[in-house]
Structure 1
Amino acid sequence: MHIGVTGSEGKLGRATIERLREDGHDVVGFDLAGSAGPGFTRVELTDYGQALDALLGVTARHGGLDALVHLAAVPVNGLIPDAATFQNNMLVSFNALFGAYRAGIRTIVLASSITAMGFPFDVAPPRLPVDETWTRAYNTYGLGKVAEEAIAAQFAHWSADTSVTALRFTNIVGADEYGTFGRAGEPDYRRDLIGSWVDARDGAHAVALALAAATPGYRVYNVASPTSGTATSSRVLAERWFPGVPIADDLGEFESLMSTRKIVRELGFAAEHDWR
């Protein structure tokens, strides 16, 4: 396929482009900054005119896209003021999704987040592991993701052949960042992430699977390593962090408390990298 990737210069964006090219796709990246080349176009996605123009076609880059992977965003609260984080990300996502609709792109995968399901989990979730049926935001970045998911679900019904898949990514870990797991035995390591993590390359694998399995309609999947980023058993952590919250009887010893059961079951997701 001919695939556009927004946020192509980010940690997940770079891994995604590499994976999709390895799979044989033609890929063009869109971002605010990056190395000039045949696979990249600099685009200000807060400008709808630029977003639409880039999706319709770019001379010497592409003449039309079969699919869009939308990863672009201010990636976390704190980099800019809170309201600006929400406003920027909502505008960028609307422009990307509506632009894709106008450009006739009917296969879309977009990045949602663990922040749409309770991060930083100061308020206990209703059950563990936390699955895709639980939606709750406690900061403006997460609020934006909840809103983006709702918008994406509606766009999926604007034409009968549109497929939109939202992937709720947890903390993305680069191949050069495994040193952080030296703290894996600490009692509250990754507490705000309920112990979850995912290697950037496995995140890219999830994107590839979502594209390959695209069918009309809207769906959402958690994306995390199926095993936790901690050295303590998941049941012990669940009882320590969330006393009294129901825990699945079949919870694995180190199974992620951010449930990956749905993406494993429906898309065949299997992480290829583990900090252990």
Structure 2
Amino acid sequence: MRIALTGSSGKLGRVVERELRSNGYDVIGMDLAGPRGPGFVQVDLTDYGQVIDAFSGVGDRHDGIDAVVHLGAIPAPGIRSDVATFHNNMPATFNVFWAAVRLGIRRIVYASSETVLGLPFDVPPPYIPVDEEYPARPESVYSLVKTLEEQLATELVRWHPDLSITALRFSNVMDPEDYATFASFDEDALLRKWNLWGYIDGRDGAQAVQRALEVAAPGFDRFIIAAADTVMSRPNADLIAEVFPGVPVTREVGPNETLLSIERARRILGFEPRHSWRDGA
């Protein structure tokens, strides 16, 4: 399967590119910047002409693609102004989705975000662990775009019943070298309350992408993608009692089990995190 991977130069994109290639996929990286060579095409995703042309074929690089993994975006709120974030991310995703539809590409996997769950949870979540069952609660322009992208995907698959679009609501992406800082989080429960003390190892993020490419059914679906544990050594019972004392806990959770439920991704995609900061690498 030949994959167009947008955002291939980003933190998650670099890992996804490496892991997909190691598992036999033909990956064409697409981003504003990247290494010159046969596996990369420079593309401005906000320019529809560039997107559909790059998906169609580029010189001797490739002559068409089978699926799209769309990670290209301003990756978080607060990096650029709200207007700049909207004007980049929303058109980029529309262009990627629309070009794929026009070219008959019927499998899209893309980065949604944990932010649609209500981050930074200044308004407490409706219950813990959070899951995909309650409506999106965007609290930033970045998250608003992610919510609109999910609605866009919902309508496109209604128009095209053979189209598969999978939204992966990634938690905070981490590389192994990031884990050295995790011990300091225990000093203040509020430091990481903004995403219920969650994270995702980039290698497990890549695993989720591959699982979605392989097993996602036609239609639209969305999945929380997080590590199996929290960033904290402190037990969940203490954290919840201190920070979210009035929030219902809907089931028993382990002392350090993720509070960003990944049960749906496990059940439908076969996703199972393999990496933890507790392992040291």
In structure 1, distance between residues paired with 2:227 and 2:274: 9
Deviation by residue 1:72-96 (Cα, 9 ceiling, x = unmatched):
0011222221111112100100000
Any stretches of 5+ residues in structure 1 without a counterpart? Answer: none
Correspondence for 2:192: 190
Helix, strand or coil: the match of 2:28? strand
Q: Is the 8 A contact 2:225 2:262 kept in 1?
A: yes
In structure 2, distance between residues paired with 1:214 and 1:77: 29
In the TM superposition, residue 189 of structure 1 has moved relative to its aligned partner by 3.4
Q: Counterpart amino acid of 1:32?
A: L
In the TM superposition, residue 110 of structure 1 has moved relative to its aligned partner by 0.7
In the TM superposition, residue 190 of structure 1 has moved relative to its aligned partner by 1.3
Deviation by residue 1:213-255 (Cα, 9 ceiling, x = unmatched):
1211111000000211111112221222211111023212211
In structure 1, distance between residues paired with 2:274 and 2:17: 17
Q: Is the 8 A contact 2:176 2:277 kept in 1?
A: no
Q: Is the 8 A contact 1:7 1:31 kept in 2?
A: yes
* Correspondence 1:211-226 to 2 at 5 A: 211-226=213-228
Correspondence for 1:13: 13
In the TM superposition, residue 160 of structure 1 has moved relative to its aligned partner by 2.5
What value does the CA root-mean-square deviation take over the aligned residues?
1.1
Correspondence for 2:90: 90
Point out the more displaced range, 263-272 or 143-152.
263-272
Q: Select which of 246, 258, 273 maps to 1:271.
A: 273
Correspondence for 2:71: 71
Any stretches of 5+ residues in structure 2 without a counterpart? Answer: none
Q: Is the 8 A contact 1:189 1:230 kept in 2?
A: no
Query: Identity of paired residues, percent?
Result: 46
Q: Counterpart amino acid of 1:119?
A: L
Q: Is the 8 A contact 1:183 1:189 kept in 2?
A: no
Deviation by residue 1:18-50 (Cα, 9 ceiling, x = unmatched):
111111111100000011011000001110100
Q: Is the 8 A contact 1:65 1:105 kept in 2?
A: yes
Deviation by residue 1:188-207 (Cα, 9 ceiling, x = unmatched):
23111110001111101110
Point out the more displaced range, 105-114 or 235-244.
235-244
Q: Is the 8 A contact 2:131 2:262 kept in 1?
A: yes
* Correspondence 1:117-266 to 2 at 5 A: 117-134=117-134, 135-186=136-187, 187-266=189-268
In structure 2, distance between residues paired with 1:179 and 1:60: 43
Point out the more displaced range, 167-176 or 261-270.
261-270
In structure 1, distance between residues paired with 2:65 and 2:144: 29
Deviation by residue 1:171-212 (Cα, 9 ceiling, x = unmatched):
000122111212132222311111000111110111011111
In structure 2, distance between residues paired with 1:238 and 1:259: 15
* Correspondence 1:31-46 to 2 at 5 A: 31-46=31-46
Q: Is the 8 A contact 2:179 2:277 kept in 1?
A: yes
In structure 1, distance between residues paired with 2:103 and 2:177: 37
In structure 2, distance between residues paired with 1:6 and 1:251: 36
In structure 1, distance between residues paired with 2:176 and 2:55: 31
Q: Counterpart amino acid of 1:92?
A: A
In structure 2, distance between residues paired with 1:115 and 1:86: 15
Helix, strand or coil: the match of 1:157? helix
TM-score computed with the length of structure 2 as normaliser: 0.95
Q: Counterpart amino acid of 1:88?
A: N
In structure 1, distance between residues paired with 2:144 and 2:263: 24
In structure 2, distance between residues paired with 1:72 and 1:162: 20
Point out the more displaced range, 153-162 or 91-100.
153-162
In structure 1, distance between residues paired with 2:272 and 2:82: 35
Which structure dedicates a bigger proportion of its chain to helix? 2
TM-score computed with the length of structure 1 as normaliser: 0.97
